[in-house]
Amino acid sequence: MRFIVVNLLLTLVWAFVTGSFTLHNLALGFAIGAMSLLLVREQLPASLNRVRPIKLLLLAGLFFKELTLSAIKVAFVVLRPNMRLRPGIFAYPLTITRDFEITLLANLITLTPGTLSVDVSDDRKMLYVHALSCHDPAAERRAISSGFERRIREAFPL
C-alpha cells in the first residue's frame, strides 16, 4: 500500500515538473516512479516505511510556499538600488538525527533562494547555513526549526 501511495506522490511530482497532466504523461510518471522505487528499495531505511503521506504533502506545500516567498524577497533585495545585504553563516542545532532527514533538511534549505547549507558537523549535531541577509540569526534558526525541521519530523516519524 505504501509503495502505491509514494508512487502516486512521485507521479504528481513528475506531472508538476513536466507541466503536463495528460494520461500518457501520468502513466509515464507512474512507470518511472515505480522503477525508481524498485531500484532504491534496498537503500531506504526501514523507518521510511512509516512515512505519513499527508504530512509529506504538507512538507512539500511548505517548501513551495517558502520557495515562492524567498524568491520574491531575493528579487526585491537584488532590484533595490542600495542593496542592504548582511550575508553571514550561522550554526543551526539539529534535532533530527537520521542521515536521510539531515540530507533532506540541508537540500530544502539550499533549494530555497537566499540560503545555502554549507556543512554538517562531524557529530551531526550542527548544520551550518549561509544566508544572504542574516540580520537576525536567531529568527532564521526559529524559522527552520518551526518550518522545515518540524515538518520533516512529522512526515518521517521514528
DSSP 24: H
Residue 123 has phi, psi (to 5 degrees) of: -85, 5
Instruction: Give the best-scoring range by mean pLDDT among 68-72, 89-93, 100-104, 152-156.
Output: 89-93
Cell of 74: 531575493
Residue whose entry in the numeric block shows the C-alpha cell 508512487:
7
DSSP 52: -
Please give the torsion angle defined by the CA atoms of residues 41, 110, 113 and 17, in that order, rounded to the nearest 10 degrees: -20
Instruction: Out of 88-92, 133-137, 146-150, pick the least confident.
Output: 133-137
pLDDT for the residue 48: 54
Residue 140 in this model has a pLDDT that exceeds 80: yes
**Model confidence pLDDT, tens digit, residues 16-48:** 888 999 999 999 999 999 998 888 777 665 555
Please tell me the pTM assigned to this model.
0.73
